[in-house]
Amino acid sequence: MRGLPLNGNLLAVGARFVRETKTAPVYRLWSINDVHPAMLRVTS
* Distance separating alpha carbons of residues 36 and 31, to the nearest angstrom: 6
Question: What is the percent of the chain with per-residue pLDDT over 90, rounded to a whole number?
Answer: 57
* Distance separating alpha carbons of residues 21 and 1, to the nearest angstrom: 12
* Distance separating alpha carbons of residues 6 and 27, to the nearest angstrom: 21
pLDDT of residue 34: 81
pLDDT of residue 5: 83
